[in-house]
Amino acid sequence: MKTLPMFLNGEWVEASEGHTREIFNPANNELLAVVTDGTERDAENAIAHARKTFDEGPWAKMRAPERASYLFKLADLIDAKADALAELETRNNGKPLREAKFDVADAAACFRYYAGLITKPLGQTYEVADPTIQSMVVREPIGVCGQVIPWNYPLLMAAWKLAPGLAAGNCCILKPAETTPLTAIELFKLIAEAGFPPGAAQLLLGPGPTVGHALAASHHVDKIAFTGGTVTGRKIMAAATGNIKKVTLELGGKSPCIVFADADFDVALEFAMFAIFAGQGEVCSAGSRLLLERKLADKFLPRLAEACGKIIVGDGLDPKTEMGPLITPQHLERVLHY
């Protein structure tokens, strides 16, 4: 099986030390692909390319309407490959195909949204005491942005990180989760087809403790954005202190789902289930605490338990499947331990 490469400085390259990683379908443990597995040296190469591109290249200096044209083209390319991307997302992540199709459409919409946003007036002016002086707020790109995403929404998270970062003129380095890199690889094929300047957007594959840490710790990276677990988020925040880079962390939570007795019973039941079982429950905003008004509880809980027992779990490509498998056997064991 041919090793799938990463995308650095406009070129598809394998890891500097030749490491690889096998990628499996969580529904049946089928080997889907072998991908290159980067090291700290690969991260440093990506950072160097992004730094040079931002400081000297055309992307940050490009006028907003021109940058927007790249994002619009990318959105069109995503739409054109929507069915193939959705199927690949389901095979790599496990989620039902209908959820994957929604994610792909949302990813394209995200690139279009930010492409439109940057062509709209954003400047602000303020009156000051001296009438001969004008005070103006000007928005400028931050610089080199490291972007680390999780495995629960592989393509959509990539869009949520890349679209605003690129739209603003930053040079972005995306590091997908080790278990779900396949749609990110396909996305970067489309980025290459759209003609983005080399170094403006790069795909860095590899484990979080090495390549992810390198992005967070590097003094040549101006911002690190991470979506994932709280333990890793603390490590990223600590690593980012070296040059006091800007940090955005979207971490896990225990989100409450609150139902009062005067709610529409069937609607409340439906959404209580959706809140915790959508995306296999592998969602940072999943409604993992159900708070019921006491006089409703005796009626609600038996109906909830009955409905949960009827959820069809299976391969996401099966149209009957309502909930796909958890991402890895190790994660399954972790959840069962809870």
CA–CA distance, 279 with 275 (Å, rounded to integer): 9
User: Which has the closest alpha carbon to 143: 211, 204, 223, 63?
Assistant: 223
Catalytic residue from among 250, 270, 282, 333: 250
87 is catalytic: no
- Phi, psi (degrees; rounded to nearest 5) at 26: -65, -15
d(CA 38, CA 206): 4
Element containing residue 174 per DSSP (H, E) = strand 171-175
Q: What pairing do the DSSP bridges indicate for beta strands 11-13 and 3-4?
A: unpaired
CA triplet 243, 244, 247: central angle to 5 degrees?
A: 125
Which of 103, 222, 226, 125 has the alpha carbon at shortest distance from 168?
222
- Does residue 282 carry a catalytic annotation? no
Contact 195, 70 (CB under 8 A): yes
Residue pair 42/16 in contact (Cβ under 8 Å)? The answer is yes
**Could you say which of 284, 293, 308, 333 is catalytic?**
284
Q: What is the β-pairing status of strands 256-259 and 289-292? A: parallel
Strands 20-24 and 31-36 turn out to be antiparallel
Under a CB-based contact definition with an 8 Å cutoff, are residues 74 and 190 in contact?
A: yes
Closest by CA position to 100, among listed 315, 253, 313:
315
Place of tokens 């890793």: 232
Report the SS3 class of residue 127: coil
Q: Which residues are the active-site residues?
A: 250, 284
